[in-house]
Amino acid sequence: MPRTNLNGFCQESILSTSLFIFGTLRHAPLLEAVAGVLPDLEPARRDGFRIAPSGEGDWPVLVQEPGAYAEGFVIRDIQPDMRDRIAHYESAYDMHLRACQVEVGGETLLAEVFVPGDPARVEPGQWSLAHWVARRARADIFAAQEIMRLWGRFDGADLRFRVPQIEARAFARLRAESASPPHKVGMGPPDPQIEFLSRRDEHAGYFFTRTFQLRHRTFAGGMSEEVRREVFLAPDAAILLPYDPVRDRVLLVEQFRMGPYARGENLPWMLEPVAGRVDPGETPETCARREALEEAGLELRDLLHIASCYPSPGCMTEYFHCYLGICDLPDEITGTFGMKEEAEDIRTHVLSYDAAMELLSSGEAQNAPLILALIWLSGKRSQLRGAA
């Protein structure tokens, strides 16, 4: 959630022709992605202010402090189109233009700056641009590119509604780029190439549907015919099957699911492992532990990796990180859980190992990660029980 924000100490915007930036937009690749082109920048400072870390994450917050000064840049004589582009990006984080004064080469200049709609929480010390660049700049640039593709389509609350999933997908893209799965059998065609032709976001809601047109290298050599395909865009997810090796039990969650409902199932409530989207900046392992607490009230003793996989690679970007979680599952552990703000209504079930495996033969286990996790557990059960 890159921000160049202020703590509300400016007058209302007067549509100055200059813009003061002091936070993440000082990073040239991010600024270029937002502004369209890299503008001319002049070093500037705002006296009497400190750039502090936000208590809400790794974001800069400008707070009043006598004797301090905040360094940044001024875009002088900013063009209306560029100003509107940056305003669109900042509106994704509830940022609004206000007027302020900055020092530029000994000259006092009236400029505009983006400030948060709500007062920001701050922490002691100085916010570090270098630290933000190392931690999340690349992901925030990917997110900015998606946000800018929505310019003219959504703004305000409608745009902010889409930002969490946009950011989560950006971090998923980084994980995909940095992953090195072993390719020993499937090596692709000789000299694998993809010729990108066009991309369009047909639907941009909580999830996105993106249409690609491309050609790719074939196994026989040469390039394929032009291919047009729609892809459902979703972030990575962590999937967790809780298991108590002493009591030989597993825990499953039951909840209403849109997929079975849209397909036409008469009872679209599904038995599943614990699962959730991997948040921006979060590891899949941390997500699995967080979701165990949120969806089932469980503290995990250990986390064992089962597999990482695409559930439907022909049409979805979604990627599953599947785990077995070692924990205690006493009789009284079941209940109802879920995050109200995420419209979750979850009931937990504790089943013996034999009862859980019966779900496979009865057909009640219709959730692919559940089937995968139970089959994996069947091969590791003796070892896990022996070590308990």
Residue ranges for the known binding site are 275, 291, 295, 344
Identity (one letter) of the amino acid at 111?
A
Q: Which of 90, 123, 342, 358 is catalytic?
A: 342
Residue showing tokens 């100490």: 9
**Cβ atoms of 292 and 327 closer than 8 Å:** yes
3-class DSSP state of 56: coil
**Cβ atoms of 129 and 238 closer than 8 Å:** no
Measure CA 357 to chain center: 34
Which residues are CB-contacts of 322 (< 8 A; sequence separation ≥ 6)? 239, 240, 241, 273, 305, 306, 307, 308, 309, 369, 372, 373, 376
Residue showing tokens 């969650």: 253
Distance CA 203, CA 228 (A): 16
Which residues are CB-contacts of 243 (< 8 A; sequence separation ≥ 6)? 249, 250, 251, 324, 325, 326, 327, 329, 377, 384
> What is 217-281 written as a DSSP string?
B-TTSSBPPPEEEEEEE---EEEEEEEETTTTEEEEEEEE-HHHHHHT-SS-EEEE-EEEEPPTT
Distance CA 20, CA 100 (A): 9
Which residues are CB-contacts of 385 (< 8 A; sequence separation ≥ 6)? 245, 246, 248
Distance CA 348, CA 297 (A): 10
Sign of the torsion angle spanned by Cα atoms 304, 305, 311, 315: positive
Residue showing tokens 């206000």: 98
Could you confirm whether 230 is annotated as catalytic?
A: no
Task: List residues forming the annotated binding site for Mg(2+).
Answer: 275, 291, 295, 344
Q: Pick from 243, 247, 354, 257: which is nearest to 296 by CA? A: 243
The tokens of 221 are what? 């050599």
Which residues are CB-contacts of 77 (< 8 A; sequence separation ≥ 6)? 17, 18
Give the residue numbers marked as catalytic.
342
